[in-house]
Amino acid sequence: MLEQVLSSLGAIHGYLSSPTGGGVRHGAELKSSITIGPADGRLYCNLIRSYIIFLMSEHERLSRESGDQR
């Protein structure tokens, strides 16, 4: 599951940060006046937030397990 989350997070990052292939632009593409709606913005923020929360929980769990083994 962790591998799938990391892969999905990488895909979202690629989609959000690609000035030519992404749906959300930054950098040079910001000058093209293409905007996203509030619903799209919330969707991307919520997806990213959920992946980050999951990864932080996994890190905490793995750190605890690692500490228990010492």
pLDDT in tens, 2-48: 788 778 777 777 766 665 655 555 544 445 556 677 888 788 788 88
In the block, tokens 């690692």 appear at 66
Alpha helices by DSSP H, 1-37: 2-17
Size of the chain, expressed as the number of residues it contains: 70
**Hey, what are 31's tokens?**
């000058």
> What pLDDT score does 22 carry?
56
- What ranges do the domains of the chain cover? 2-68
Q: Is 61 exposed, middle or buried (0-12, 13-18, 19+ CB in 10 A)?
A: exposed
